[in-house]
Amino acid sequence: MRTVALVLLIAVGTGWAADSLPPGASPILDPAKEGQEMAARLRSSGPEEGSEFSGVLEITAKDGRQRFTPMVSKITVTTSNWQVVYQSLPTNGVPAETLTILHSPGQSNRYTFAINGATNRAVPLTQAFAGSDFWLMDLGLEFLYWPQQRALRAEMMRSRPCRVLESVTPQPSPGSYARVLSWIDNESGGVLQAEAYDRQGKLLKKFSLGRIREVRGQWRLQEMRIRNAQTRQQTELKFDLKE
């Protein structure tokens, strides 16, 4: 099965599948070495071809009120890198925002952020995209570039055998993540779920994939969800997948 998760930029099915493992089994012999290898594979797992989707950010506040922001996302692939653009459309007084992330193997991500077409070079990576619960760093999987990566254990997640990857930054920014746990599917190599913790060790955000549909012979992510455990706000990103 091949799945392209447009958001969070994981192109799975990249050929590094591991043997399925029973719940509770622990094949982790060298946590640091395997963790670095897992993170490196995820960073370099680019899409094979370009694509473009439209969708909507469905934002639900803790009191149940909802707002909807339409958006488009486009992937462009070259021989040396790939670029992803997320563009929200202006609605309900909220201006249009455009995030461009350039991924190059072996290099750090390059982010460009613009509001109503005007580029803002000083914006922090903890900036919320279009008022949603997705930070710019979430959409670029920035935690995979942190210096400490460890494979913690093997366990089942959503009936799938996974390895748990721990990403830690030694100097977390105030209000940002200090530690991220990712459940990596053994067969596809994609992220099924992730949990981000703050400097006090409290759960800050939880990310999970939703439904998957087959489109033109490929499995595509139809929706995904990120929830802020501290503000109790949730954002669902739903893609309009046409045949």
Q: What is the pLDDT of residue 200?
A: 93
14-33 confidence digits (pLDDT tens):
333 334 344 444 567 899 99
Domain of residue 207 covers 3-239
CATH code, domain with 191: 2.50.20.10
pTM value?
Answer: 0.83
Q: What is the mean pLDDT of residues 225-241?
A: 90
Q: Which residues contact 198 (CB under 8 A, 6 or more apart)?
A: 172, 175, 176, 177, 178, 204, 230
Give burial (CB, 10 Å; 0-12/13-18/19+) of 120.
Answer: exposed
Q: How confident is the model at residue 222 (pLDDT cuts 50, 70, 90)?
A: low
Instruction: Return the higher-pLDDT residue of 3 and 227.
Output: 227
* Number of domains within the chain: 1
Q: What is the pLDDT of residue 26?
A: 52
State in Å, rounded, how far the first CA of the chain is from the last one: 18
Q: What is the pLDDT of residue 58?
A: 94
